[in-house]
Amino acid sequence: MFELKSTDSIANVPDAPRFAPLPAFASIAEGDASIAPCEGKRIGILIVTYNAVTTLKRVLERITPRVWQNVEEIAVFDDASQDATYELAVGLKALNSFPKLHVLKHRENLGYGGNQKAGYEYFINKGFDIVVLLHGDGQYAPEILSHLYHPIVKGEASAVFGSRMMRTYGGPIKGGMPAYKYVGNRILTVFENRSLGLDLTEFHSGYRAYDLHALKQIDFSRMTDDFHFDTEIIIKLQHQRFHIAEVPIPTYYGNEICYVNGLKYARDVFSAVRRYRQTCRSVERHPEFAEYFNHYPIKKSRGSSHAYAHDFVGAHQSVLDIGCGEGHMAEELQKAGNVVTGLDVLDQPAKPDAFEQYIPCDLENGFVASIDHLQRKKFGRILLLDILEHLRYPEVILRNCHQLLEPNGHLVVSLPNVANISVRLLLLMGMFNYTERGILDRTHVHLYTRRTAKQLLADNGYEVVKEKMTAMPLELVFGISPENPFMRVVNLCMRACARLMPGLFGYQIMYVAESKRNK
């Protein structure tokens, strides 16, 4: 069956099996003349297989001659099948002399996601431009491979997903998708679209093409090896602002064995979205999305340290943001017409456009060495937000700031309140455990109360002119948006408590101070 035809209605193509499409898809395959060309792109087909000895041969036969001609390699990645899938693939390659066909077998089963990761890394390391994911069980039509990679060849998308929900080929039910799978697919897709800000017709098709230059920027290292890998990769593509396109594909259900536990898969999808949102909101750092975790997110609720800092800075000021991090606060201040200079240990912040000037600086030893880079500028506002508690010698930074403040300039400081009720209750229970973030952040080397924080400023030549205690950021604890009506009520109550009993309910101590040396 794999001998080459001497004449072919589509093309005479070396290194390809005899083209034998499913009858229903033959007319579709005839239309790929204008979209199959690779246009200089190095295209690879990744066929993931597990126990596909009865279907793999037909999958290879159904790939059109034009696709065989335009792709550089078709790689079969066998995931430690328990049948003779690997031996079949190797035999087909040897007997028919197909140099474009490569066959690899994992010694241990990597899982659906793990097999994909290995395949993508394989093509990335070989310098390919595009990869198309095809299943070896025949569920997805190889006849339309060119439809998936064509938009990437043209530069119209970074990822292209085949959708069975589009009606071009009759839709999912007509194609034999069981009703319970259709309903589950639709429920999950609606949930994912709303949660991620997308508008895809289907999230759960495994027929996909990727721009490998985009995949290079995706961290696969801690992503799942299970079936919801497909969901995690959509989340990451969307987060990193890569354009996702869809093309219609036919729905086909044959006698292939399904290894997906539907209920577990649905739970995993819901969990993946929840874990992503928790990580982005800095509620918890989940490893698969750890690169999106912001240790110090902007707190936008009323009564938060960032809201107070924004009010204290005002508008159209020259601002020095010491310990500016990635530039999130600077970006907010810039919107009010402030000109911001940043100092921090990072070589380059994530938001460089938020700064007029950014200077890398080891704040542990002060910033005297950086003053020349500041060209002896003076600043109307100097911010020390969530920074002094991390330094062994905060006095050094405070003394450096005197020479950079304008005569009527203000120092804006925030420090954690170790006397907060949450810490007191932990002590009452005999607990004093450091955490990833918050008052007991494990990177804090000093702890302050209202009295000791004020004394720190006084001892270093500052006079406090304004004091505020922030509300506990329960929206971060619960992972709920501060715009949620429930969280608005909770935040209002927390602000009232912080005003009535600041030492007990205040979360952070906010000071506006003036330099006594500049008077």
For the stretch 119-154, pLDDT in tens is: 999 999 999 999 999 999 988 999 999 999 999 999
Tokens standing for residue 329: 């606060």
Say if residue 413's pLDDT is above 60.
Answer: yes
As a whole number of angstroms, the distance between CA 120 and CA 107 comes to 18
Phi/psi of residue 55, nearest 5 degrees: -120, -25
Strands across the sheet with 244-248, in order? Answer: 101-105, 73-78, 43-49, 130-135, 208-211, 159-163, 244-248
Give me the architecture of the 305-518 domain, per CATH: 3-Layer(aba) Sandwich (3.40)
Residues 83-101 pLDDT 10s: 999 999 999 888 877 889 9
Class of domain 23-290: alpha beta
Band (374; pLDDT cuts 50, 70, 90)? confident
Note the pTM of the prediction, 2 decimals. 0.74
User: Is residue 121 within a helix (H) or strand (E), and if so which, with residue range?
Assistant: helix 111-125
Task: Indicate the domain borders of the chain.
Answer: 23-290, 305-518
As a whole number of angstroms, the distance between CA 284 and CA 277 comes to 9
Residues 461-490 pLDDT 10s: 999 999 999 988 887 777 677 778 888 898
> What's the pLDDT at 4?
32
Find residue 43's DSSP bridge partners: 130
Find which of 28-32, 169-173, 208-212, 259-263 is predicted with most confidence, using mean pLDDT: 208-212
Tokens standing for residue 392: 């062994």
> What's the pLDDT at 259?
63
Lowest mean pLDDT among 83-87, 172-176, 212-216, 253-257: 253-257
* Other beta carbons less than 10 A from residue 429's beta carbon: 8
Q: What is the mean pLDDT of residues 233-250?
A: 95
